[in-house]
Structure 1
Amino acid sequence: MGTNNETIRDDPLYIGLRQPRVGLEEATQFMDKFMAAVAEAFPDAVIQHEDFYSEAAFGFLDRYKEAYRMFNDDVQGVAKEMMNFFTMQGLTEDEARERFWLIDTKGLITSTRTDVVNGKIASHKKYFIRTDTEGKEYPSLESVIDYVKPTALVGLSTTFGAFSESAIRRMAELNEMSIIFPLSNPTSKCELAFSDALKWTNGRVLFASGSPYPPQEYAGKYREPGQGNNFLVFPGIGFGALQSQARRITDGMITASAISLSEALTPEEKEKGLLYPRLDRIREVSARVAAGVVKKAQEDGVDRNETLRGLDIDALTEEMRKAQWWP
């Protein structure tokens, strides 16, 4: 569908259309035909959408998720997914949403902000518009931290250094243990380096980044950062959908992948304070995630593989291991 990046477009190895990226309407027409053609030619395929720009990614997910076996781990793995865990603990959707404060390049998204008033705010941001700021605007991360006094920062900005020293030090003043997840990748786009997080919080931080950072020694202790990257779950989501022969991929199956990931931590990893399983266990972890996805597909009534029904999670995990391809 083309690209607006002229450097890539002019590269002799570029295999896409050598033209500017088409608009959303034309892209949607193409995707309608593409999704239908893939489903007809490969009825058992699981389709993963990857790296569409935001408006297209959200629009395509809403358009196709009920009709096809598809998912978008970038979209389904962040804010709305985190909200699901709040509602699982008994909060209403509105109560959960109130605990999220969405910040973009213009600051906190509020109902009185100029682009919101003029109807120019991106559609995928509307869900988190704040209506309780009494007309006040908060244009910077630091001003939002002072106003909200949050316990956690999650970075998805793809802006290197977006979590400033002053912002992180303020988080450390507000919290005994700050939760800081700079999830943008690669490292050149990460909001905060692990070494700076340790230094600016005096080591009082639960840290995970989208890009890998090496372990650090701080205050005489060996600290190992987590890598909060969706590659820990999306192989298991697709694999679980295939093995269960799911008719579609439900929101519950996405949530189950995250729960299964947390359950995959070993006692030794927990003892060392790791937030995610180590990467050298990725095959084992993927089997456990896939088993959780299969189980949820069964509970949601979208599975078609009757041979896996009635198995507990350990037995399902073993079945997933057997089905994995080994080179």
Structure 2
Amino acid sequence: MAFTLKERQLIGIHGLLPPTVLTQEVQVQRVMNSIKVKPNDLERFIYLMSLQDRNEKLFYRVIQDHLEELMPIIYTPVVGLAGLFISIYDKGNVKSILRSWPEIDVKAIVFTDGERILGLGDLGCYGMGIPVGKLSLYTACAGVKPSQCLPVMLDVGTDNKELLDDPFYIGIRRPRERGPAYDELIEEFMQAVVERYGETTLMQFEDFGNRNAFRLLDKFRNRFCTFNDDIQGTAGVTVAGLLGAMRITKKSLADNVFLFQGAGEAAIGIANLIVSALMEEGLAESDARKKVWLVDSKGLVVNNRSKGGINEHKQPFAHDHKYIPTLAEAVKVIKPTAIIGVAAISRAFTKEIIEDMARINENPIIFALSNPTAKSECTFEEAYQYTNGKCIFASGSPFPPITKKDGSQIIPGQGNNAYIFPGVALGVIAAASKTIPESTFLIAAKSLANQVTDEDLKQGRVYPPLTDIRKVSRKIAIDVADYSYNIHLSNRLPRPANTAELIDSFIYSTDYESFVPHTYEWPSL
């Protein structure tokens, strides 16, 4: 109903629609009204996917205008099957499968093997919903063109017995491949992408299990334009939040001690980026690592720990210290200025721990980053109450604000990866970067932190409002592209005189495009 009268006449639909011409703004409101009467999020998701199929521009305009409300709905692990499926049995034929995808100008690929989906574990082929959702956020948050995005599911089997026994399961029915064939499939896939779409095609690893995530990133990061959002995107948004917190505490990062609940992909990614930031402040790497401590399921990660041992990726953060079995005891002994939860253990930050943090610090930094809300280490209300309002808080899931006695509100920061990965992707695509070094995510973190206003900090935020995410992502993209040119990783030459104009040329517009020269209005009666 946004077609003008002249357009309706030209394409032969005049009279087949009611006479009113609706603006896109009115259409957005009609869509939101329809969404709100749906009984549950699954029905809302189905409705939105139907909208995407029939009116792509309106779909992204709706998501863009109502991102905070709709992000949890479109980013779902169990629905959304539009993408490319490559199974372990396709090894040797990946090139031909890529040729089946109708778009030839692909710039960004998000791919998963479905092993570690959103804290839900091994969802096998149902993991396709994650790349679909991630790429929707590429477009909604940063304006990456949807036609240039490709979601891929690498189906190597599943160890989820419930799925294997389900007659309606859509994936291959076999245990996960964990031998050489697995690595061969990943290698073949990435080589095939380069051959089909070019060496600057962005390939994002998503929701791979710990056993593969670190080693695959290390294996491919210097050969392809690739990154792992669970490791590096999470790191970028967390370090940005910590940089924002420093403006409240009036300290440098080097004045802090960081204690993690968790030692998986997210924790190690954040820890490594903190070390990079500390080294930029002038610390030696060994001294920087001494500022970071990890607690895993077996207790404090220390050298010569007899209980549980130490995995290779944790070893750089294993210190010479007596073993401590619990997080609560570690807080008392280590006396951190910041605790960061990324282990998806609900209420891991107990009343005792939060109160101890308040006793140790004037403004304790409490980042409860695990998703979904049910897995959060504590709520904003708990952190605020047990620290008498002194805490600097951020979470992975949204929490409501707290209204103070004077009527003002304290708004918790939400450390969502969507602040980082869409802007990084847009900058990398625009600059046609050959690879994505770790330092890129420190650039992105600083760019995000610099966009937090003094007013945001007064309200308790260490991130800008999510409603500003398009503007935030654009600035991150500009900074990332500039950095790529500065370190000679860009393939788009010569370097443009104005990076902002380059970025803007790659941004997808949700505006309708008229195919007639002038809008025709109804004549006056």
Q: TM-score, normalised by structure 2?
A: 0.58
Which residue of structure 1 aligns with residue 486 of structure 2?
299
CA–CA distance in structure 1, aligned partners of residues 298 and 187 of structure 2: 34
Identify the residue that residue 241 of structure 1 maps to in structure 2: 428
**Are residues 1:90 and 2:282 paired?**
yes
What is the CA–CA distance in structure 2 between the aligned matches of 1:99 and 1:12, rounded to whole Å?
Answer: 51
Q: Structure 1: which amino acid aligns with 2:347?
A: G
* Shift, 1:270, TM fit: 3.6
Tell me which residue corresponds to 1:106. 298
User: How many angstroms does 1:175 deviate by?
Assistant: 0.5
Alignment partners' CA distance in 2, 1:219 and 1:10: 56
Q: Matches of 2:182 and 2:379 in 1, distance apart?
A: 37
- Structure 2 gap ranges (5+): 1-155, 236-269, 511-525
Could you tell me which amino acid in structure 2 is paired with residue 272 of structure 1? Answer: Q
Name the residue aligned to 1:22: 177
CA distance in 2, matches of 1:240, 1:254: 12
Counterparts of 2:377 and 2:410, CA distance in 1:
19
CA deviation digits over 1:95-133, x for unaligned, max 9?
Answer: 1100000110111011121156xxx532211111112x1
1:241–1:201 Cα change, 3 Å: same
Q: How far apart in 2 are the matches of 1:267 and 1:198?
A: 20
Cα deviation for residue 267 of structure 1 reads: 4.6
Partner of 1:209: 395
Other-structure match for 2:160: 5
**Does 54-63 or 267-276 show the bigger shift?**
267-276
Q: CA deviation at 1:29?
A: 2.3
| Structure 2 residue matching 1:18: 3-state secondary structure | coil
Determine the C-alpha separation between the residues in 1 that align with 2:289 and 2:368: 21
Larger Rg: 2
Confirm or deny that 1:49 pairs with 2:49: no
Does structure 1 retain, via aligned residues, the 8 Å contact 2:393–2:413? yes
- Report which stretch shifted further, 121-130 or 58-67: 121-130
SS in 1 for 2:328: helix
Between stretches 14-23 and 40-49, larger displacement belongs to 14-23
Q: Which residue type is aligned with residue 353 of structure 2?
A: A
Instruction: Give unmatched runs, 5+ long, in structure 1.
Output: none
Q: Where do 1:137-216 residues align within 5 Å?
A: 137-216=323-402
Partner of 1:286: 473
How far apart in 1 are the matches of 2:164 and 2:279?
Answer: 45
Matched letter for residue 227 of structure 2: F
Listed one character per residue, the Cα deviations across residues 261-302 of structure 1 (whole Å, up to 9, x for unaligned) are 112224542443320011111111111111111111112110
CA positional deviation for 1:204: 0.7
Which gives a bigger RCO, structure 1 or 2 (Cα 8 Å, sep 6+)?
A: 2
Give the Cα separation in 1 of the matches to 2:169 and 2:225: 29
How far apart are residue 82 of structure 1 and its match?
Answer: 1.7
Q: 1:276 to 1:4 in 2, by over 3 A?
A: same
Among 250, 253, 257, which residue is 2:437 paired with? 250
Counterpart-to-counterpart distance in 1, 2:299 and 2:188: 38
Change (3 A) 1:164 1:273: closer
| SS of match in other structure, 1:33 | helix
Q: Which amino acid aligns with 1:165?
A: K
> Using a 3 Å threshold, how does the CA distance of structure 1 residues 310 and 85 change in structure 2: closer, same or farther?
farther
- CA change 1:273–1:24 in 2 (3 A) is farther
Q: CA RMSD in A?
A: 1.8
**1:32 matched residue in structure 2:** 187
- Identity level (%): 35
How much does 1:142 deviate?
1.0
Q: How far apart are the structure 2 equivalents of 1:32 and 1:274? A: 42
Matching residue's letter, 2:211: E
Of 445, 448, 451, the residue aligned with 1:264 is 451
Matching residue's letter, 2:506: A
Matched AA of 1:236: G
Q: Distance in 2 between matches of 1:217 and 1:288?
A: 32
Retained in 1: the 8 A contact 2:393–2:460?
no
**Matched-pair contact (CA < 8 Å) for 2:358–2:364:** yes
Code of the aligned partner of 2:422: P
SS of the residue 1:114 aligns to: coil
Aligned residues: 317
